[in-house]
Structure 1
Amino acid sequence: MRGLPRALASWEWNLQDLAVSELSRPANTASLQSSAFIFSAILADAHPLVVPMMIDQIGLAMESTAVPQMMEIAAGEHEMLRDQFVRIKAIEALGRMRATESSELLRSICEKREGLTHVEPAGLRAAAEDALAMIENRPTSARVRAAFESATQSSANFVVPRRYTRVPLESPLRAQIEQGAAGLARVKSISLGGAYLESLKKSTVGDAIKLEVRAGLKKIQFTAVVRNIGPDGNGIEFVHMKDEDREKLRKLVQRHLQF
């Protein structure tokens, strides 16, 4: 772990992903916090597809020293980390950490307008509303916690522990894999962070794929990484999506959550 800050920037994304994945399943709380502290120091050196997982770990570890950095990213003011998906992850991390000092910023993201138009897109605003609900313990926070907090109860056996609650789908969704092991698939369960795909196509842990999921008349597009292989498919983690796709996913998960 000590050599990671010096080496990370020179590695290809898949090697970065492997290293961060390994450090994201620590054996104890102390190592979880050590990893999160190191992640916060090297975020700007990481590949864009690896940064979201690192921010998730910072939030889960309650790494309070990273709160100013998460606020900077959430506000869209970081020199390098300005992608909307990364900003959503930073907002979620602030909510997980119950970072009360971020409340004013989060309210600004929710409410700021230019004339009649919101400054920030819907996905960012929804993430900020959810984070505020958790920080302020609003009545709506039960719905938000249902999507986040029960994930840790069932994640111990996974290569990368789940960071969001996976919800089963009574009627699997159709999906098209557009990169990697291209072909048709069915989504049997889904969360804000990933899904389980039933597919005849063979994949390998660490493969990156482009995925389009059809939910009714809506299409949701993701970039994902295969995290585990099952008897009839693969568990995947979402590593990038557009703001509008994240908002479609959030609404889909909310419809199927039980809390």
Structure 2
Amino acid sequence: MLRLVGQWGESTQGKQAHEFDGAAWQEQFAALPGNAQATLRQALAAVAAQTPSAKVDEAMLLRLAENLAIGFALERFERGEVKVNAVQQMLERMNQELGALRKILRAREEKMASSGIAVESHEDVLDRQFWAAVSESGKRAVLSSPEAWCIPPRNVQHYAEELLGRGESQAAGTILRKYAACVRHKDAEARKKASIGVAQLAGLFSKAGSQALPEGLALAGRQMTAEPEAEVQTLLGAAFVRLSQESCVHRCYPAMRQALDSLADLEAVRPSWAQGLRARIGLENRLPECIEEALAGEAMPEGLAGVLVRLPQAAGEHLAARLARAVRRSERERIVELAKEAGGSCVRHLEEVLKSDSSAKSAGVMGLLSRLDPAVLEELLPLRLRQGRRGYQDAVVRQLAIAGAPERGRLLAHAIEQFDPLVLPLALDEIGMCGDAETAPKLLQLAEGEILPESSEYVRVKAIDALGRMRAPGVASHLRKFVEARKALGWVYPEEMRTAAAQALMKLDPDWMSAFLPQSGLNSEALALAPLDAMPERDVVRHRRYRRVRLPRNVPAVVASARGKSASTISVLSLDGGLLSGDVQLAVGTEATLKINAGLRSISVQAVVRSVRSHQASFETVGMGLDDRAKLRRLLVALGG
């Protein structure tokens, strides 16, 4: 029947029109089965009815032939005479019969293609038209069968999108899962086509129910471990990568977990291939984004814990780094919660970093490790502090302060002998802020000079401040001697040490201190500038240790560092730091000596730069003489403190 239409088309072209044998054509037509003759007559009549006054051209004949081919294939498919894979072969054979008509149109198509107009292949046209003619039930039956791979991906995509548009996401998911199952077909050609199709359809898997993407990855992963054909391996790997990337983009954590499980299985049998796929997918690189989104949400995303467990090293290091940047207590606790969900492998990796890695990296994990396994940290901390320099020790103290472990006071007190003299004051402040009274005996020994006798008086004052903050029981009688001890021409202890002890006694034994104050010779306004207590109800990770005073006028200061001297001014000041203003050319972590203008004699302060902004730098006090501290206190009181 198609051959007859083709001969008729050829008869209308050029010299072949004179060679057309009408009698022979009629004879061949008469030889057709009765139903075929009726079909052809109906088709020709339909063409004549559509264009009663127009000349029947070759394009119209081609459409006629294609409609006949599609109708024939559809009829046999719906009667169950052929399966879907046989339909494809049938369409290919009929496409060859239509070759004569297409030769006539080839020049026109080539001209269109040269003009940049996309022209579908003839096989694609037939296939698309056939698929459009298949009923809804027929489409679903084919796509739910093991032969779904025969359907071109664009047809699968179109049908799945129709289902999604109607809100039938579960049905679309079933179709996609059945199609993905074809990657495990026994026929290599079927696996090849299915792999190509899955890669093209990857964007739909994340939209079609919760199971489509994980199951698609599981099917591809299982086949990768057993696939013998090199070409199919390449195509299957590409499909797996696309599905994995979709799981990352859409934060489908169950699918990400499945991708990691499949990679682990593949690594056991084909390690080099698995490593290459892992690098192309880049799951580890996506982890920081996932963590940030989890921290911003109200609840832990479903399935994220499983991903963290499967990436313990990356999870541990990212979470440790993120903890160091936390500014809110609620944020910090979410980070710790995520780290706990990452499991024992994460903790063991952090412990290994602490034991063997460089100083900078080991310092970065101590904060998180203090929340996950403080016992291991207590064992290793003194050794690492002894090996580390001043900057390393400073970073450790700040990490432990941010992490806020209840054991941090004990951890720092246990290693107190290992601290650099300029870092020890910061450690003592944090011990006091922690409020662990079990550390009081060691702090009292330090305040009285029984341990670290070579330490500065400033360190001893810091120890007294810490005792007052934690309201340590049983130390009031020891602190009284600092306040009331006299010698022939005055008091035994320096003014600032007496002031610190008096401030601690105001918290420990207020009745005694109030009674003794009139005869103490201490200034009540200076005593009011006392160390601040931690405020656990506030949603911050670090608490102010001393009251800040915003100065009514900027105070001149000279900053001396390894880069030389520079003039600056101070706009905010406290007993433990302040804010420099002006053309500040200092990097974070720079150690400097500040000379603060305070009358005839300047106040000398050893400090570390903590942050730098445009024309501003904050500094933290790490050391100073007690005379300078007393003078600084009086300056703050005079300026409104």
* TM-score between the two structures when normalised by the length of structure 1: 0.87
1:25 equivalenced with 2:408 (yes/no)? no
The residue correspondences of 1:116-195 to structure 2 (distance < 5 A) are 116-137=489-510, 147-149=530-532, 156=540, 161-181=543-563, 182-195=565-578
Q: Which of residues 170, 191, 213 in structure 1 aligns to 2:596?
A: 213
Task: Output the CA distance in 1 between the equivalents of 2:639 and 2:606.
Answer: 22
1:5 equivalenced with 2:382 (yes/no)? yes
Aligned residue type for 2:620: E
Aligned residue type for 1:9: R
> CA, structure 1 residues 222+142, in 2 after alignment: closer, same or farther (shift >3 Å)?
closer
Given that 1:151 and 1:164 are in contact with CA atoms closer than 8 Å, whether structure 2 keeps it comes out as no
SS in 2 for 1:228: strand
- Structure 1 stretches of 4+ moved >4 Å: 138-147, 150-155
Given that 1:44 and 1:80 are in contact with CA atoms closer than 8 Å, whether structure 2 keeps it comes out as no
Aligned residue type for 2:495: A
Report deviation, 1:162.
3.0
> CA, structure 1 residues 142+149, in 2 after alignment: closer, same or farther (shift >3 Å)?
farther
Deviations 1:97-126 (A, max 9, x none): 122422112111112123233221111111
Task: Output the CA distance in 2 between the equivalents of 1:186 and 1:220.
Answer: 13
Task: Output the CA distance in 1 between the equivalents of 2:402 and 2:639.
Answer: 28
Given that 2:559 and 2:567 are in contact with CA atoms closer than 8 Å, whether structure 1 keeps it comes out as yes
Q: Which of residues 249, 253, 257 in structure 1 aligns to 2:632?
A: 249
What is the match of residue 447 of structure 2? 74
Task: Output the CA distance in 1 between the equivalents of 2:607 and 2:538.
Answer: 21
Report deviation, 1:48.
0.5
> CA, structure 1 residues 234+180, in 2 after alignment: closer, same or farther (shift >3 Å)?
farther
Task: Output the CA distance in 2 between the equivalents of 1:81 and 1:163.
Answer: 25
* Worse-superposed segment, 228-237 or 140-149: 140-149
Select the structure that is richer in helix.
Answer: 2
Task: Output the CA distance in 2 between the equivalents of 1:25 and 1:146.
Answer: 25
Report deviation, 1:151.
7.9
Aligned residue type for 1:73: L
What is the match of residue 108 of structure 1? 481
Aligned residue type for 1:228: S
Report deviation, 1:149.
2.6
* Worse-superposed segment, 187-196 or 75-84: 75-84
Task: Output the CA distance in 1 between the equivalents of 2:598 and 2:423.
Answer: 27
Q: Mark the structure with the bigger radius of gyration.
A: 2
Aligned residue type for 1:247: A
Task: Output the CA distance in 1 between the equivalents of 2:422 and 2:637.
Answer: 25
Task: Output the CA distance in 1 between the equivalents of 2:485 and 2:639.
Answer: 30
Given that 1:200 and 1:232 are in contact with CA atoms closer than 8 Å, whether structure 2 keeps it comes out as yes
> CA, structure 1 residues 102+90, in 2 after alignment: closer, same or farther (shift >3 Å)?
same
1:41 equivalenced with 2:41 (yes/no)? no
Report deviation, 1:154.
8.6
Report deviation, 1:229.
1.4
Report deviation, 1:254.
2.9
> CA, structure 1 residues 232+201, in 2 after alignment: closer, same or farther (shift >3 Å)?
closer
> CA, structure 1 residues 193+184, in 2 after alignment: closer, same or farther (shift >3 Å)?
same
Task: Output the CA distance in 1 between the equivalents of 2:473 and 2:408.
Answer: 23
Unaligned runs of 5+ in 1: none
Task: Output the CA distance in 2 between the equivalents of 1:48 and 1:150.
Answer: 24
Task: Output the CA distance in 2 between the equivalents of 1:113 and 1:213.
Answer: 32
1:92 equivalenced with 2:92 (yes/no)? no
Select the structure that is richer in strand.
Answer: 1
SS in 1 for 2:619: strand
Report deviation, 1:16.
1.1
Aligned residue type for 1:178: A
SS in 2 for 1:77: coil
Task: Output the CA distance in 2 between the equivalents of 1:155 and 1:250.
Answer: 29
Report deviation, 1:164.
1.4
SS in 1 for 2:554: strand
Task: Output the CA distance in 2 between the equivalents of 1:20 and 1:184.
Answer: 30
Deviations 1:9-45 (A, max 9, x none): 111111111221222222x5xx1x2222100000101
Given that 2:561 and 2:590 are in contact with CA atoms closer than 8 Å, whether structure 1 keeps it comes out as no
* Worse-superposed segment, 202-211 or 97-106: 97-106
Task: Output the CA distance in 2 between the equivalents of 1:101 and 1:257.
Answer: 35
Q: Which of residues 232, 243, 248 in structure 1 aligns to 2:615?
A: 232
- Aligned residues between the structures: 252
Aligned residue type for 2:624: M
Deviations 1:33-65 (A, max 9, x none): 222210000010110011001000110110111
Task: Output the CA distance in 2 between the equivalents of 1:62 and 1:156.
Answer: 17
* Worse-superposed segment, 207-216 or 98-107: 98-107
Unaligned runs of 5+ in 2: 1-365, 367-376, 518-523
SS in 2 for 1:25: helix
Q: CA RMSD in A?
A: 2.6
Deviations 1:39-96 (A, max 9, x none): 0000101100110010001101101111111111111222446310000000101111
Task: Output the CA distance in 2 between the equivalents of 1:232 and 1:57.
Answer: 29
Aligned residue type for 2:462: K
* Worse-superposed segment, 98-107 or 185-194: 98-107
